[in-house]
Amino acid sequence: MAIRLKTKLPGPQSIRLMAERQKQVARGPFHSAPIFIERAKCALIEDVDGNQLIDFASGIGVNNVGHASAEVVAAIQNQAGKFLHAGFNVTPYEIYIRLCEKLNEAFPGNPSFERKSFLANSGAEAVENAIKIARAFTKRQSVICFDHAFHGRTYMAMTLTSKYKPYKYGFAPFNPEVYRAQFPYCYRWQNTSDPEKVSEECFSSFEDLLSSQLSPTQIAAVIIEPVLGEGGFIPAPPQFLAKLREFCTTHGIVLIADEIQSGFGRTGTLFASEQLKFTPDLLITAKGLGGGMPISAVTGRADIMDAPIEGGIGGTFGGNPVCCAAALAVFEKFQKEETLAHVKKLALQLSARLAQWKERYPLIGDVRGLGLMQGLEFVKSRSTKQAYPEAAKALTKYAYEHGVIIMTAGTYSNVVRFLMPLVTELDLLEEGLNVLESGLKSLK
């Protein structure tokens, strides 16, 4: 047994620190599990009370190669011994180029166009830069995003984000020239869940938006998560993505894939776009890229990436050398076949178990996702599909109290998402799922 509970959770030290946190730290940041972490390795977290928990959250899909991966730690230590920061805008360094090279090579679909990359610090910052690059290239202003999207918390990224509370509440006004289209959310589509039909109807509503509210000639970019993350782990049907691709090509619009959450092996391939047969013009990555270090990237068509003038994009810390070293170690991990082969094994085990749960527990309305990016959507009744956020919240609480860290998601906060490290051992996955199944049994 990997779960080791020495105290009731949260334990006394965590409770003490939480009281201090309330006093010293702004209210805004939310905690899925109010347990203070002391150390972590692979898929296990030890808290300040000496309890050991299984991590099914990976710090929101970041620790894909596991907590404190030996190779990532060694790469960080090696680089830290040379220099910590130089500022790529001041004196460039080779490791930045090497990482861009890897990102360019790994671009989904391996299209014939030349690729270039730009490095930043966080997902939101990469989103901002992708929009700046698309606007500079097209010399147009409008941007189309989707229902249920989450792109980050800076002003443009937040404007592109769909869910109002908590992400946008109290923060208006938002950026101009952003339009929102329907996302092909098959489970909640009006009259059908068939991906083919949903794609057709959804795309036709996309075209309606363009004819009624703006012209394609005004649109700089369309930005989409091939698998919605915070929106509830909803893969876009490949048919829909294909239509979008064709539309953007026809109208000279930059098509941006936000794979910040779905990237770096999370879905069973390096990027979800590969299995969805989707080739964007620009790809945004972050989270898993740095193996726990803050780094993000925009990668894509060289002619688009070169649109901003010299000095037009940059930043003090973007592409920090220690973070680049960590990211290169992450890439090395994915070059080993066993990494993605293990994800496939875990994903099979997870999918089989979730499918069983759907049979057994009527509160689960939908089970969906790709690879190790899977979610359970809770409903009060399968016929009305009325969202049941209290169930997702109660399961999350039950889970951490019994040694498993999970998170919720979804516009209606009624999805429980699985984001375990991709290196989780199979029996650890089973142990964590057993806890969750006991939790499911306790739900009313």
Ligand X SMILES: Cc1ncc(COP(=O)(O)O)c(C=O)c1O
Pick 152 or 265: Cβ nearer ligand X = 152
- Please state the closest distance from residue 296 (CB atom) to ligand X, in A: 6
- Please state the closest distance from residue 149 (CB atom) to ligand X, in A: 8
Q: Are 428 and 54 in contact (CB under 8 A)?
A: yes
Cα of first residue to Cα of last residue in the chain, in angstroms, is: 28
Pick 395 or 419: Cβ nearer ligand X = 419
- Of the listed pieces 12-20, 84-92, 120-128, 181-189, which binds ligand X according to CB under 6 A? 120-128
- Of the listed pieces 15-23, 207-215, 222-230, 343-351, which binds ligand X according to CB under 6 A? 222-230
Q: Which of 63, 122, 273, 408 binds ligand X (CB under 6 A)?
A: 122
Q: Binding to ligand X by residue 295, rule CB under 6 A?
A: no
Q: C-alpha angle with apex 276: 273 to 282, nearest 5 degrees?
A: 30
Q: 198 to each of 154, 183, 193, 240, how far by Cα in Å? A: 31, 9, 6, 8
Pick 258 or 281: Cβ nearer ligand X = 258
Q: Which of 59, 226, 229, 290 binds ligand X (CB under 6 A)?
A: 229
Q: Give the relative orientation of helices 337-360 and 426-442 as an angle to the nearest 10 degrees.
A: 20
Q: Which of 258, 274, 281, 377 binds ligand X (CB under 6 A)?
A: 258
Could you give phi then psi for residue 267, rounded to 5 degrees?
Answer: -100, 5
Neighbours of 349 (CB within 10 A): 16
The token duo for 332 is 């090395």
Q: Which of 10, 123, 375, 410 binds ligand X (CB under 6 A)?
A: 123
Beta pairing class for 219-224 and 142-146 = parallel
Nearest to 433 by CA among 407, 406, 415: 406
Instruction: Report the alpha-carbon distance of residue 186 to residue 196 in Å, rounded.
Output: 10
Site residues for ligand X, 126-165, by CB under 6 A, read: 127, 150-152
Instruction: Report the alpha-carbon distance of residue 278 to residue 298 in Å, rounded.
Output: 17
- Please state the closest distance from residue 133 (CB atom) to ligand X, in A: 16
- Please state the closest distance from residue 181 (CB atom) to ligand X, in A: 16
Helix (H, G, I), strand (E, B) or coil at 81: coil
* Total residues in contact with ligand X, by rule CB under 6 A: 15
Using the structure block, give the residue that is written with the tokens 């490290």.
421
Instruction: Report the alpha-carbon distance of residue 22 to residue 98 in Å, rounded.
Output: 42
- Of the listed pieces 51-59, 133-141, 255-263, 267-275, which binds ligand X according to CB under 6 A? 255-263
- Please state the closest distance from residue 187 (CB atom) to ligand X, in A: 19
Could you give phi then psi for residue 287, rounded to 5 degrees?
Answer: 35, -100
Q: What binding mask, one character per residue, do residues 355-394 give for ligand X by CB under 6 A, x or -?
A: ----------------------------------------
Site residues for ligand X, 59-98, by CB under 6 A, read: 60
Strand ranges, E, within 73-176: 115-120, 142-146
Pick 227 or 392: Cβ nearer ligand X = 227
As a residue count, the chain comes to 444
Nearest to 152 by CA among 120, 125, 119: 125
Q: C-alpha angle with apex 392: 430 to 63, nearest 5 degrees?
A: 55
Pick 152 or 237: Cβ nearer ligand X = 152
Beta pairing class for 44-47 and 52-55 = antiparallel
- Please state the closest distance from residue 76 (CB atom) to ligand X, in A: 19
- Please state the closest distance from residue 276 (CB atom) to ligand X, in A: 15
Pick 229 or 439: Cβ nearer ligand X = 229
Residue 214 makes CB contacts below 8 A (sequence gap 6+) with 142, 179
Q: Are 231 and 408 in contact (CB under 8 A)?
A: no
- Please state the closest distance from residue 184 (CB atom) to ligand X, in A: 16
- Please state the closest distance from residue 371 (CB atom) to ligand X, in A: 15
Q: Binding to ligand X by residue 286, rule CB under 6 A?
A: yes
Q: Binding to ligand X by residue 55, rule CB under 6 A?
A: no
- Please state the closest distance from residue 262 (CB atom) to ligand X, in A: 7
Q: Which residues pair with 379 in a beta bridge?
A: 387
Nearest to 52 by CA among 419, 398, 404: 404
Q: Which of 261, 285, 396, 414 binds ligand X (CB under 6 A)?
A: 261
Residues that bind ligand X (CB under 6 A): 60, 122-124, 127, 150-152, 225, 229-230, 258, 260-261, 286
